[in-house]
Amino acid sequence: MHPIYSTPLTFTEEGQNQIYAVAFDNNDNNSDAAFKDINIDKSVPEINIAIPNTDVAVGSKMRINYSVVDNISGVQSVEVSLNGILIASNNELLIDKPGENIIKVTAEDNAGNIALKTIVFTAYIPASITMFPSQVNITRKITKK
């Protein structure tokens, strides 16, 4: 008689694990082994973001380059936002907000692990000063009290 196994199995190693089972009947006949692969994924996806410059003029365009990798269970979804508004991936963006701007990339893998990466950049209002005449005389009157 073969023992009946009924204890839960615990897998702690991240990556691919394999179990197999063989069944026996009361006459000691056995089945072919049945194999099952089990992937354990405890790691969040890896997010890489690159922007060409963190000091950008309002009215200019920029492209957000990013990549997401999950070598264990694979990437399920990716969302990219600029200042809380979802944007289409790898599009060129018109920067229209002066001051601090926030790019967020959120990725979820097929095991439900979620990663978030944030980049902050500053958009400035371009300005130029033209003075006519080209020479300016400034006088100042100082009075004593």
The pLDDT value given to residue 139: 66
Burial class (CB in 10 A: 0-12, 13-18, 19+), 57: middle
The pLDDT value given to residue 113: 97
Residue at token pair 């009290």: 145
What is the number of domains present in the chain? 1
Burial class (CB in 10 A: 0-12, 13-18, 19+), 87: middle
What does the alpha-carbon distance between residue 114 and residue 105 come to, in Å, rounded to a whole number?
11
Is 77 a member of any domain?
yes
The pLDDT value given to residue 137: 67
The pLDDT value given to residue 83: 93
Q: Which domain holds residue 109?
A: 46-124
Is 17 a member of any domain?
no
Per-residue pLDDT of the chain (145 residues; tens, 9 = 90+): 667 777 888 888 888 888 888 888 888 888 998 999 888 899 999 999 887 777 789 999 888 889 999 999 999 999 999 999 998 876 788 899 999 999 999 999 999 999 999 999 999 998 877 777 666 666 665 555 5
By C-alpha distance, which of 119, 105, 118 is closest to 54?
A: 119
pTM above 0.75, yes or no: no
The pLDDT value given to residue 14: 87
Is 23 a member of any domain?
no
CATH number at residue 77: 2.60.40.10
